[in-house]
Structure 1
Amino acid sequence: MDKSNGYEKVAKTFSEVRGQIVDGIGASSVSMWAQTLPKGTVILDLGCGTGIPITKVLIDEGMSVYGVDASPTLAQAFRKNFPHCPIACEQVEDSLFFNRSFDAIIAWGLLFLLPKDNQAMVIRKMAEVLRIGGKLLFTAPSSISEWTDILTGQQSRSLGTKKYKEILSAVGLSLIEEFEDDGENHYYHAVKVR
């Protein structure tokens, strides 16, 4: 069973299309977010892929990054790109998140790949390892929608802003802002308040 939501099968193509573009879509938005965090912030990058561009941006901004990705091929590329960053090759639903807490968590292009119930469960898991005052940044469309991912052919789904707000609030996170980047990715920026 492929626990990578189809990404192991297309890992080579994904690496060529997205995993080598240092200033790819999302890089500038993640950089702006990272600039609101203190240098040395310990960040968990869920669905990190090769680490390019997201992990690279975070490291360039002075952050310490841990990665989780279910694709063995993409996790191996991450290790090669960032040998000093810990990486766990496991499905986020099953991950122990290194048995530690984090100052911030990013899940860029990940949550909407998961089944609806799993999205809520992963948000809860992220909240559990996020320190009070810690920040969470994730992407998912603002409207309730389902579509077939172009690269993997797998079903993707967004729960929509209202549902994401409900889930965040239920696990002690408060939505600070929503915004979109130049690639029309919708971001949810939240802080752990309890």
Structure 2
Amino acid sequence: MIDDTSNGYEAVADAFVAARSRTTTGVAIVRQWAASLPAVGTVVDIGCGSGEPVTAALLDAGLTVSALDASPALVAAFRRRFPDVEVACEPAERSRFFGRRFDGAVAIGLMFLLPDTAQRDLIGQVAGALKPGGRFLFTAPRQACAWDDVLTGRRSSSLGAEEYIRVLDEAGLDVIAEHVDEGENHYFEAQKRAA
């Protein structure tokens, strides 16, 4: 059996693109977050999917976006939609984030798809890819819980707010806000401490 680094999303890529391209859920929060970054800031969109609607909102805000996703089909859809945006086909937990540091990082709809250890590791990796003062926005339920992903049927899990805040703190990131969008998705917003 081949290791599916996309956590099941390669097999359901078409359904995922169709669902995400029809919704603006969370876009207002992403836009608000983007406005907190430098006017010509750089952002890495981790688990970008086809780029709709998150990458589109970041570009509309005037930011320079680099993106990555583990699903070849989703990366191909991204390239068709955003041919001028740098994108890599690789799992977030193995990424070097283009060997650069960014003003911001987003991981919308990704964190809870990863095993618990990989979630903790990814937070540390993101901290390393942020400039001092850089911001990280990601979604995960506030409560510690587990459930089956609607599209893939695979197990998803949230570490819960207390654990996310602890892991972020250990990585040098302070939670500065939490948000809930119109679909009742929970967002953690963190900022990297100055060196």
Unaligned stretches of 5+ in structure 2?
Answer: none
TM-aligned CA deviation for residue 16 of structure 1: 1.1
Aligned 8 A contact 2:66 2:87 in 1: yes
Residue 147 (str. 1) matches residue 147 (str. 2) = yes
Residue 60 (str. 1) matches residue 64 (str. 2) = no
Residue 105 (str. 1) matches residue 121 (str. 2) = no
Q: 2:128 is matched by which residue type in structure 1? A: E
Report the TM-score when normalising by structure 1: 0.97
Q: 1:56 is matched by which residue type in structure 2? A: A
Corresponding residue for 2:11? 9
Please give the alpha-carbon distance, in whole angstroms, between the structure 1 residues aligned to 2:142 and 2:69: 24
Please give the alpha-carbon distance, in whole angstroms, between the structure 2 residues aligned to 1:175 and 1:150: 28
TM-aligned CA deviation for residue 38 of structure 1: 2.1
Please give the alpha-carbon distance, in whole angstroms, between the structure 2 residues aligned to 1:128 and 1:16: 33
TM-aligned CA deviation for residue 148 of structure 1: 0.1
Corresponding residue for 1:168? 168
Residue pairs, 1:70-109, within 5 angstroms: 70-109=70-109
| Structure 1 residue matching 2:104: 3-state secondary structure | strand
Please give the alpha-carbon distance, in whole angstroms, between the structure 1 residues aligned to 2:93 and 2:179: 26
Q: Give the paired residue count.
A: 192
TM-aligned CA deviation for residue 70 of structure 1: 0.3
Residue 38 (str. 1) matches residue 38 (str. 2) = yes
Unaligned stretches of 5+ in structure 1?
Answer: none
Please give the alpha-carbon distance, in whole angstroms, between the structure 1 residues aligned to 2:82 and 2:14: 18
Corresponding residue for 1:190? 190
User: RMSD of the TM alignment (CA)?
Assistant: 0.8
Report the TM-score when normalising by structure 2: 0.96
TM-aligned CA deviation for residue 32 of structure 1: 1.2
Please give the alpha-carbon distance, in whole angstroms, between the structure 2 residues aligned to 1:39 and 1:93: 28
Please give the alpha-carbon distance, in whole angstroms, between the structure 2 residues aligned to 1:80 and 1:67: 14
- Quote the sequence identity (%): 46
Aligned 8 A contact 2:38 2:103 in 1: no
| Structure 2 residue matching 1:93: 3-state secondary structure | helix
Aligned 8 A contact 2:29 2:179 in 1: no
TM-aligned CA deviation for residue 17 of structure 1: 1.3
**Is the deviation greater in 155-164 or in 35-44?**
35-44
TM-aligned CA deviation for residue 143 of structure 1: 0.2
Residue 130 (str. 1) matches residue 137 (str. 2) = no
Q: Which runs of 4+ in 1 moved over 4 A?
A: none
Please give the alpha-carbon distance, in whole angstroms, between the structure 2 residues aligned to 1:184 and 1:141: 9
| Structure 1 residue matching 2:112: 3-state secondary structure | helix
Please give the alpha-carbon distance, in whole angstroms, between the structure 2 residues aligned to 1:39 and 1:109: 25
TM-aligned CA deviation for residue 4 of structure 1: 0.2
TM-aligned CA deviation for residue 111 of structure 1: 0.4
